[in-house]
């Protein structure tokens, strides 16, 4: 795997993580305070029929990021347990 491929995958995974985190924070704020972060930042309302086009796009991206993150997350550790090497 060359540097360009791994850089692209790493960047994609970071973008997925940011969108998933934004989604989690938004749901937490809705649950705790009935306040929608995405609607506050990008306009519109929490109801789909009242959301701005930009808010709807953010919701779609966050949803797709959650699905992609679920499929790309390393659910199993690679190589088994870590062992420390002592010199």
- Classify 22 as helix, strand or coil: helix
pLDDT beneath 70: ranges in the chain: 1-7, 44-51, 75, 77-85, 87
pLDDT of residue 19: 85
pLDDT tens sequence across 59-82: 788 888 888 877 877 767 665 556
Exposure string over 49-80, b if 16+ CB within 10 A, otherwise e: eebeeebeebbeebeebeebbeeeeeeeeeee
Q: Model pTM?
A: 0.56
pLDDT of residue 3: 47
């Amino acid at each position: 795997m060359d540097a360009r491929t791994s850089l692209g995958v790493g960047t994609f995974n970071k973008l997925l993580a940011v969108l998933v985190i934004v989604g989690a924070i938004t749901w937490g704020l809705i649950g705790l305070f009935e306040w929608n972060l995405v609607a506050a930042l990008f306009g519109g309302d929490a109801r789909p029929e009242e959301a701005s086009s930009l808010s709807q796009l953010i919701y779609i991206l966050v949803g797709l990021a959650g699905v992609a993150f679920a499929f790309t997350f390393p659910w199993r550790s690679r190589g088994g347990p870590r062992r420390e090497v002592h010199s």
